[in-house]
Amino acid sequence: MALKGVDVSKMVSAGGLVFEALRRAIIEGELKDGDPLRQDEIAKLFHTSRIPVREAITMLEQQGLVKNHRFKGAVVVGLSIAEACEIFDFRCVVDAHVIRAAVPHMTPALIAEARAICDSFASSTDPMRWGDLNRAFHITLYQASNLPFHLATLSNAMDRLDRYLRAQLLLTDGHARSNAEHLGILEACARGDADAAADLTVAHIRSAQHALQQHLAKIQAKFGIVETA
């Protein structure tokens, strides 16, 4: 055929670009719980039509980051303590399975990469980087599992919790505690102890859950928020 092929798999659509920008703004807290996503304003900001914006909002809704309300449009979704606990319970099961599967396949190069990220997390004084480095540490170790569906599902769960965990790391002793827990997980991986790595990962998740529950409870008490069943 007299056609020049193009690898469309390496191209990002306008909707994908808008999605990634909005997703990051939500995760980093630039867009807060309850903030509206006005399609006209977003389209103007990205110099595009409303079609890619609608696509992006649909993807965000699928990940549980926004919700469409009749007459009100899309707004950023808050996270209740009950929802957070459910996600943490889910992660305890899936993260443990993934890292247990990953440890036998971890190479010295991968361990070195994770250690470098761990060192960067420990030495960073920029709270805005802590969330990214925390996530990068876990994802780097999990890559060796060769479980792409599990990793994609975990990524969505992390998106749901990420902005709250960033606040928790900043407003509590979460940074120092997470660093110590990361080191323990890393050492278990380095010596090839998959069961210990899984157990320490679960303990790490539960530790973050407890701190975040306390953080969310304080916010609810401050503003008189009562969760409904």
Q: Of 3.40.50.1000, 1.10.3720.10, 1.20.120.530, 2.60.40.10, which CATH number belongs to 81-223?
A: 1.20.120.530
Question: Mean per-residue pLDDT for 164-181?
Answer: 80
Residue 1 is predicted with a pLDDT of: 41
Q: Which residue has the higher pLDDT, 228 or 78?
A: 78
Residue 214 is predicted with a pLDDT of: 81
Residue 105 is predicted with a pLDDT of: 98
Question: Mean per-residue pLDDT for 36-58?
Answer: 92
pLDDT band at 113; cut points 50, 70, 90: very high
Residue type, 12: V
Question: Mean per-residue pLDDT for 89-99?
Answer: 97
List the chain domain ranges.
13-76, 81-223
Question: Mean per-residue pLDDT for 3-17?
Answer: 58
Q: For 179-213, what is each residue's pLDDT tens digit?
A: 999 999 999 999 999 999 999 999 999 998 888 88
Residues above pLDDT 70, as percent of the chain: 90
Question: Mean per-residue pLDDT for 120-145?
Answer: 91
Q: How far is CA 65 from CA 42, 87, 224, in A?
A: 16, 13, 23
CATH number for region 13-76? 1.10.10.10
Residue 228 reports pLDDT greater than 60: no
Task: Tell me the whole-structure pTM to 2 decimals.
Answer: 0.76
3-class secondary structure, 9 = helix
